Structure 1
Amino acid sequence: MPPTVPGPDAPPERPAVAAPVDAGALRRWAGAALAVLGRHREEIDALNVFPIADADTGTNMYLTFEAACRALDDRLTAPGPAPSVPEALQALAHGALLGARGNSGVILSQLLRGAAGARYTGSAVDGAALAAGLAAAAELAYEAVARPAAGTILTVASAAAEASSAAVVAIGELAARIPVPAGGEALPVPNPLTANDSLAYVAQAAAAGAREALGRTPDQLDVLREAGVVDAGGLGLVVILDTLAAYTGGLDPRGAFRQRRLAAVRAAEPAPTRARPEPEFEVIYLLEATESAMAELRRGLDDFCERGGGDSLVVVGGDGLWRVHVHVDDAGFPLEAGIAAGRPRDIQITHLASQHSTGVHTASPAEPLTVSAAVPTVRATRAVVAVAYGEGIATLLEEAGAHVLRAEPGRPPSAADFERAVALTRASEVVLLPNDTETTVVAAAVAERLSAGQPSMRVAAVPAKVTVQGIAALAVHEPSRRFDADVVAMTAAAGATRYGAIEVAATEAWTMAGVCRPGQVLGHVENDVALIEDDQAAAAEAVLERMLSAGGEMVTLVIGDGTEPGMPEAVTDRVRTRHPVVDVVVYDGGQTGYPLLIGVE
C-alpha cells in the first residue's frame, strides 16, 4: 500500500517558495526517473538494433539506474551528516558502476560519473551547475567508448549538454538587459531567475535538445534508418532528462508521461544486415586495477577489436574500480587480459547469437545470471520466489511452498536480490511474486533477463502489487500444470483480488479523504486513502463495506503489528453477519506500518 507521507519516489509538489535542491531532492527525482524508465522499458527494448539487435537496452538501463538509486539510498541512510549534492551524485554513479548491465548501462554509469565529477561553483544547485554536470557527463562518456558513433546515446548526451550551456548564456543575457538608471550607477540585478527557476529553465532546454538530437539519430546511423527507429539508448536518456525537466518544473513526472508514447517502431521493416557477422559473446566484468594497468588493458582490447576480434568496447570507472564491456568471438581473450591487469569479478558472459533474430522485435533481454561458482546447478523443478514484509507473512508463504525473499519496509528487494533468490532455488522454472507496486517492474525486468540469459531456464513475474494478491496467486499455484498455464492462473488470481488496508497516521497530513490528525486511522482502498476514522475497527469495517459493494466471495485479512486488541475478531464477525456467503480467512502477518491488510476475491 502507498505510504501516507510521501517517500523517496513521491511526486513533487510545487511549493510557494522554491525549496533548495539537496540530496533528498535528487533522490526523489531519481526515484521518479526510475519509475518512468520502468514504464517505457519494453518500448525502449523494442527499438534496440544497435550495436546488437538483442532488445535489452531499456531493461539494462532500468536495472543499472535501479542499482544507482539503491546505492544512493544506502548513502542517505548511513550514519553521519547528510551528503551534499555532488556526494549524492557520486553515490548514484558508484551504484551504477557496480550494477551496470549491457552496453547502454555501462555508458549510463559513465554519464552519471561525469556529472558527479563536474566542478560545481557556489552552494546552490542552479542551471549553471546542471549545465556543467551535463557537459562533464558527455565528455567522459565519449572517452569511455573506443569507437564512438554518431546517432547514439553519446550524440544525444552531447546535444543535451550544448542546449543546457546555451540556456545558461541566455539567462546571463537576460540579466544583462536590466536598464541602468540616468544617475549612472547600476542597480543591483534583481536576479530574474532564482536558482530553482534557472535549474528548471536549463533542464527544459537540455531535454528539448536531447529530443531533437534523438529525432536526428536515424539520419546519422544507417542501421537505425533502415530499421525505421531512433536510437534506443538515446531514448532512454531522453526519458531521464524529460523526467528531470518535469520534476524541476514542479510536475509529477510519472503522471506527465503516463499516456505518452515516446517513439514509434516500424516493426514490419526488415533490420539491416551487417557487413561482418556479429560477435558471438558479450563479456562484462568489474576490474580492480591501477590507472596504468587499465590504460594497457584498454590498448590491448582496442587492438584486438581493430584486428577483427570484436567491437563495442567500453571501459568506464576510476579510482581503482572499472567496468569493462566488449563484444567478442573469443570470450577468453578479454578475461585473460583482465586477469593480467588486475582482479576481475562480477563476470557476465552472454551468447549473443542465441539471444536475437533479425528484425526489430520485443524479445527478452540478453543478460544471464552473473557467472559465479556459488550458483548451484539448475535442476528440472518449478519454484516460486515471493517477497515478504514481516516474519508472519514469511512463515505463511514458506508454509505454502514459496522460497521467501525477506524485505524491510521502505527497502524493497533489488534486481540483485531477486537474482540471488532465483539461483538458490536451483529450479529451471521460477515464478516471482513481488508483492509490492514498485517492485513489480524490477521483478519483470529480472524475469526477462534471466530467461534470455539462460535458455534452459524460464522465469516469469506475476504482477502481484500487494501481499494479499501474492497470497491469492500462491493459492492457485499448481506445479503439475504447464509453466505458462500456471503463470496465467496465478496472474488471474492476483488481478482478481482487490486490496485495501488500514494505517495509523503519524503526523497531520492532507489526503484524498481530507486532513488527518496524528493517531487517526486511514482506510486505503487500492491506491487511495478513501476514509478517515477514529478507531481501527471502524476504519476496517468501512473499507470492507466499500470493497464488498462490488461483490466478493472471499475476504483475506492479514494482521500486522500495532493492531488494536479485538479488532480482527470484530471485523470478522461483522463480515460474517452482513455477508454470510462470503468466506473470511485471517492470517498473522506481523507486517509493520499497516495493522491490517485486506484482500477481496
Structure 2
Amino acid sequence: MITGAQLRDAYISASNLIGNEKQKVDELNIFPVPDGDTGTNMSMTIASAAREVSRFEDGGIGQCASIAASALLRGARGNSGVILSLLFRGFAKGLKDVTEAGGQQLADALAIGVEAAYGAVMKPTEGTILTVARVAAEEGKSAAVKGASAVEVWEAMCEGAHRALAATPELLPVLKKAGVVDAGGKGLTLILEGMLSVFQKGIVIPSENVEEQQPEVSVKRAVAEWEGEITFTYCTEFIVGRGDQKAEEDAKNLRAYLESIGDCVVVVDDDEIIKVHVHTDGPGNALQEGLKYGQLLTVKIENMREQKRRAEEEAAAAKPEKQRLERAEPENDVGFVAVSAGEGINGLFRDLGCDQIVSGGQTMNPSTEDILEAVQAVPAKTVYVLPNNKNIIMAAEQSVELADRKVVVVPTRTIPQGLSAMLSFDPDRPQEENLLDMVRAAEHVSTGQVTFAARDSEYDGHRIKEGEIIALNNGKLTFSEKTPVKAVTKLAKTMIKKDSSFVTIIYGEGITDEEAEEARSVIASKAGDNVEVTMVNGGQPIYYFILSVE
C-alpha cells in the first residue's frame, strides 16, 4: 500500500529527476524555433506540486494527491504542463478520500487522469505524451487485474511508458526523421520513474540544481541527511570510549536497544570506540545506555523539528516575493487580459483597451496561476483572455474554472491575431457574437516571424544550423537568410497578396531604428500603393520582426 507520506516524497523525487534532466528533454524538440521547451515547462509545472506537498506532514494519499493536483493546475505551463496537470488531477479524483492505495486503486486513478487528458485535447495525436500516459495506465491495469501490489503496478506503468515512448517515432514520422522520441512522453517517463524510486526503494532522488532544490525535502546534519517525515525529535550522536571492555556483543546490544527507542540507528564499532547515531524522543535514555559500554567521549544532540523550521524560514526569506496583483471587484461588464512581451507591443494592447498584460510568450510560457491572477485583477464580470501563443492557450483555458468571474479565452496564436481580435470587439454586441467576430478576425490575419534557430535541425525539408536567421509564414518554416532585414523583406513579398490591404511591421530587440526603416521602405515599395504599411517598435524578445498582413 502507498501512503500519503510516500506520495509526497514521490512528487518531490519526480520533480527533482525531471529538473535534473530537463535540458535533455528540451533538446528532443525538433522545431528549431526558440520556444517554451517541453522539459522546462514540465519541470516548472511539477515543481509547483513539489513545493506544496513538501509541507504535507500527516494525512491520507487522497489528501496529498488533491494538494498536488491543485498546485499542478495553477502552476501548469505550456501544453505539456497542462496535460501533465490533467493527468494528476484525474489521478487525485481516483484517490479521493483514500487513506492508503493498493495496486488496483493506483491503476484506476491514473486511467481517470488519462481520460481527462485525452478529453481536453481537441484533436489528440498519437505518438505524444498522451500515448505514453495511456499505455502506462493500460499496463498498470493489466498488472492490477493479476493481483499485483502497488509497487508492482507502478513498475508496470513505468515499463509501459518506456515501451510506448520508444514507439513514438513509428507513430509520428517527423520524430522518426529527426531520430528522436517525443519530448512530452520522455518527460512523463522521468516523472513516473522519479515516483517509482520512492515507492520501490524509499529513495527521494536528489536535485542536482542547488537553486531548485526543495528546502523542505531534507535538513542536513553532521553524519546523516534526513528525508521524509520526522518521526522522532532529536538527532543524537555520541562516541563511547570502550576502555578495557571489548565484548563482541556490545555494539549489537546497544543497537538493539536504540532501535527500540528510535529510528535511523547507525552503530559502528572498533577496538577503541563505538560511534552512535539515532533519532529518538529520549536522548537521555540513549546516552544512559551508552554509558554501560564505556565513557562518553563526544555528545551532540540536535532538535530536528526546530532545524526544519529554521530551514524553511531561511528558504522563504532567501526567495524573493513575487509582486502579486490585487483582486478587483467585478464592477464593469467586460475586461481584457493579453499575454505579450515587449513594451511597444504591451502599449498597443493597452491602447486597444487591455486591462492587464501577462508577461510571456515564446520561451516564456506563463502559468495558469499567472493568467488567473491577471484575470481577477480586472474589474469586470466577463474577462476575455488573449493567449497570443499556441503553447499558452491550454494554460489560459484552465483558468476558466478557477476564476471567480466569467472567463472567455479567445484562442489567438500570435500577437497580430491578438491585436486584430481586440480591434474587432464591439461592446454593443452580445458575448457570443463578439467571440465569433474576434475568432474570425484573428483567422483573417497572416503572421510572419523572423527569428533565429535555437538548435541544429532538419525540419520540413530544411536543414537548419543553430543561430541561423529563419523566417516563418503562419508558423511554417519557410527559409533562412543572412540578416533579419533581408529575411523580413523576402518574407513580406511571399505573404502580401492581391487582396492585402494592411501590413504592420513590429520590430523587436536587436533591431535598430535604421534597420527597421530600411525594411519598411523596401516592403512599402514592393507592396504597392493599395497596401498601407505601418511600423511599430515592439521591443519584443526572440523575434527580430513580426509581420501582420491583412
TM-score by length of 1: 0.45
Larger radius of gyration: 2
TM-score by length of 2: 0.49
